[in-house]
Chains A and B, each alone.
Chain A
Amino acid sequence: MRFLRILLAVSLACGVLTPAGRGVAADARPLNIVFVNPGKTGEVYWDMVSQTMQAAGRKLNAKVEVLTSERNYRTMQELGLGVVARAEKPDFLILSNEESAAVPIVEAAEAAGVKTLLLSNTLIGEDAARLGPPRQKLRTWLGDITTDLTTAGARMANALIGAARAAKWQSPDGRIHILGIGGDEITPASIARNAGLDLAVAAASDVVVDRMLFANWTQSEAEHVTANYLSWASRKGIRPAGIWAGNDPMALGALHAAASAGLSPGRDIQVVGLNWSEDALREIKAGRLLLTDGGHFLLGGWSIVLLRDYADGCDFAAASTHVEVKTSAITRDNLISVSDLIGNRAFDRIDFTRFRAKAGGCGHYDFSVAALISSLSPPNGGGE
């Protein structure tokens, strides 16, 4: 936790110290980048990843080709292997190692000499042990760019705890009772968030997570389990103080369940979510949702920034081949600044050139929400 805070502080400091807005060299050669999207068309997060990737490509002279595998990992592998087998090999291939399905593609790319970057999900477990760190056994695997979701989870929990303490929503046992709703128990993205919740609660002796329930990332299941929890809690004589949801849809389900149980979210109970979804922003605006953490869909844009720098000779490996990007919380306070960006998916408003590494500082980036907000051109504006 402390390490994370230090890291956050350092990044913020860097961001502050680094002069923003550096144009792309005119002579910079155009890049050919292919992204095999593991998600479904219409799946908000992965759509937004692709959209930010393409918006960044437009700013950084990179042609970004997005192939959608429609949540079918076999399709994903076929698409990736097809790209590797192309006669005209792309400069970079961006993959997400969901369910470890990207490993054969990474290995094939190594054989074909195609450079790869893992986004959002990197090698884990046995694969990590077998293939080692980037650029060693797999020389063309440049590295990975992931989000620090543990910090996000902790931040969400702390917000809940703070609000509950302020409102004195202790149960008869004198403790603050929270419900946790996780997406699943196996994916690294979910595990990291849940770990953040645990870290935060472990640090607060007056807080107890009654249950960590799992709702498959879906609103309806979250509503169902929340209803069950609330019923149980009332039988147990517990005063539920907050609901921690691993993403926004589940947070919305929890809101509905709480309302159905006769509670008034925002006044009787606080709910937090993650993803910066439009619905979440609306609920924040309505005062029912405490916050939504996220912004990690910007990994798409940030990955193009890294590859542009790499192609231009400023290798992010100078700092680390593992690039971890912090998320940020949207509350009622900063809601206005980002609501248009997200609501209209106006990612071209972001000036991605301002996020490139400064000379001599390769691998050091400031992807904070403050830097983002300051990089934005006014709404409806064509950018710089």
Chain B
Amino acid sequence: MKRLTHLPTLKIDTSKKISVYYRSKTHTGWYGDTIATLLYADGIRVFGRSLKYHRPRGLYSLDGECSNTMMAVDGRPNVRAETTMAADGMHIAAQNVQGTSEKPVESTPEKDWMGFMDHLSWAMPAGFYYRIFHKPEKLWPIAVSRIRKAAGVGVLTSGYTVKGRYDEIYPATDVCVVGGGPAGMEAALSAADKGLRVILMESRPWLGGFYDYRTSLDADGVPLYRKANAMAERIAGYPNIRVFKNAPVVGVYGNSMVTAFQRGGRDRPFEQRYIEIQTRSIVVAAGCIERPLLFENNERPGVMQMGCAHRLARTWGILPGRRAVFSIGHDLGLEAAIDLADLGMKVVHVADVREDGQDQRLLDELKKRDIPFSRGWTAIKAGGKRNIEKVTIGTVNGMRRREFSCDTLAASAGLTPVTGPLATAGAKLEYHHLTGFFLPVKLPDNVYAAGRLLGLNDPASVEASGRLNGLRAAAACGVRVDSELKAAEAETSVLPGPVRNSKMVTAPVKNQKMFICFDEDTTVKNVDQAMDRGFDVPELIKRFTAAGTGPGQGGVPGHNLPLYVAQRGDSPDVDPRPITVRPPLTPVLLATYAGRNHDMHKRTPVHESQSASDGRMDRAGVWLRARYFSDDRRSRREIENVRGNVGVLDASTLGKFRIFGNDALKALQRVYIGDMNRVREHRMTYAAMCNDDGCLIDDGVIVKQAENDYYFTTSTGRSGATIEWIRYHTRYENLDFHMVNLTDAFGVINLAGPNSRNVLQKIADVDISNEAFPFMGYREFTINDIIPVRAMRLGFVGELSYELHVPSSYMQAVWDLLEKAGKSFKIKKFGLEAQNTLRLEKCHVIIGSESEQRTTLCDLGLGFLWCKSKPEANTVGSVALRQTENQSGRLKLVGFKMKNGLERPPKDGSPIVDSRIRGYVCTARFSFTLNEPIGMALVEDSYAKPGSVFGIYENGCKGRLIRAEVVKTPFYDPTGERMKS
């Protein structure tokens, strides 16, 4: 097709050719073409097949309001061909086409053997699938697989990978303007003039909105497209306006956040990027799209929106066809008919659904060109198999009809405002009788609406509305604009206000294929059927007929469905109600939302040392920690080395806190179940925290450093919640204390094993003999004169051991010194798995492993940590502990060994007595130290005494239970000699 190459409105660069592959052929267009315009220019009319009936579908709008032109591009399904720029070498394929080729890339949507589905629509009324396929029952599984194959549109292969860079940015601004048309540009300019930072978002590749393709003149005689260019140039001169083009806004959250994405391109070195804007005020000037006209075959290729026909010619230099009929309801349609006729298209008839209200100047122009025009007429039916060949138009009252042969029908009922950004921001929308639009009646604070979406049509009004709301947005940022605001308000008050729009919903035809939603093949008749079944709210009709739930995001049915439902409903006096709009307003690739997909994790100060010596680093909450130092998943050598020599473990992830201030002790007394009064200065105690149910939530040690100044540790998992926990439980008393989270400031090394004292003594500057530094003791000393160390003698793994708290910056040095000093004592790193077995032998509890959410301190046998003489009301969990202390039927923690000489520990499973589950296996391992399997379990109290025997039901045991016996704990070194020596 010969393209119009000399129009001043063109957005293509005819010096740069672009070639794409479609159906094994090369198609060539120009830089600036979208995939759809490139193919259309090359004669392609059918772009794909519809979901249910496999009807041919063609170019209808140019802004992606329906799935008609969704195609597969380079293996990616459901790409919107009409908004995606063509790029050299793209491989393009049609979707949902059956049977024309083995290879989907070669499928020709012009033919589709499933096309017969269209003749079966009578068998598929709304919700038909709820009434069939389940009788007989055996039919259903077969039907499911058929339904699944028939449903869906694009094909995504499981090996698909995205290529290129997906970025994300988080700009902040004062005013965010959504929509780069005349109102949006004016709003941006007037806010920027006040010195504010402005972000202007536009989904198309250029600014200009409904000006950019129009040659008609404004009041001063300037063509609108030139005006748009001039405004865009002015914007470019403002350093405080940041413009994002190719960037559809996908969500507005309240009055302070706008999300969008931007497509990459020549000057944008990314595939797409996610944009999240923090803003102080928002102006939505998103303009209008067209409200589809409902008539028979209203989605046949060749039928397109008036703006689509007009912009094809003016922006891309493509005449939509040779002979066109116009069936429109807005002056823009008259303007398009005149302009297209001037550009060389034969306009055979213009039907306007409006009886009156047309701009007389436009009617005169039509007359000048001898274009027949009829008022109160509308398209009734489009004829033709793959592309329209004829059109029947008729009077709105259905009395008269005429038929024309043509290849293009520009059809539109009028306009509909793009209120999605307002709706997601939380604006309340109501039906507006003059315009027939759903318009905001209440906007969130600092959110403003401007321009055409308010029903304005006159260019001067649209621009003034932009200026006015730009000033309001500036005022919302605290700028004083009183006098300008007054002037702007005065200006708009004398300009034309919102205009009346056509109210017609459906052409005067019954029971025919009028599609209210293209994506889901939902006809007006389907809506009738749903309403006959008792569905009376648009939301439910949407769910029952699927209208508006497709990839077009309600762009086609969004306005017509509520209008039709209100018109047909039982109470004619009820206003139409808008349907819910949900983000994203434009579908967004998961790759784009995922962006760079930051991996936020923490590494301890000695991470590298461990990973370099074969440490397998696993996630433990936000941390990476070493689980094993060999391929042995039971960590035998690590365990035996701790028991026999000395091991070193990185425990830096422990929560570490300082609490100080006049009421620090009071705060600790509140959350710890023991008596914190008993902790003496420079001494340490082991303590636990419970929740209101008496359940153990945390344990650790507390060191008193001075009066009302404590250092305490928490478990790794609780470190993030500790400060909030303490604050929450002291919230009413106005206690005077402060907390510092030192978790990242200190690293922790656990040095454990019979040789640990010998190793530590080599580097410590003080005497650490058993007398000088006994079990459960706390010391502060230095290493190498300068490294300050807080050392605790604890025994989690059941051996003589030291927990060394070292400033993070010194961690590596101490770690290396220990390794060096320990060489002759066979020091070896050990990981979490070894620690787990070691502490299991001692029956030391890990919260979440031995405790469930419902396990109290007493259930775990840790009741000795509870100080009963403390005032109950002032201790979190104390009341519950008293109430449950002697309650029967609770699950208690026990140690068990296997019966009948079983040499393996149980897989996790359930203790069974008398054919009932009596609890849960918590941890079970083979103990190399004891040379037998051991475990801990929570079991009902009646089976918790040593000597009780229970079965264990394991995964896959098929009812064959293994037997275990409750034994006294701990398994290893019951008197604690080894820890204390």
Specify whether A and B are partners: no
Query: Residues of B at under 8 Å CB distance from A?
Result: none
Query: Residues of A at under 8 Å CB distance from B?
Result: none
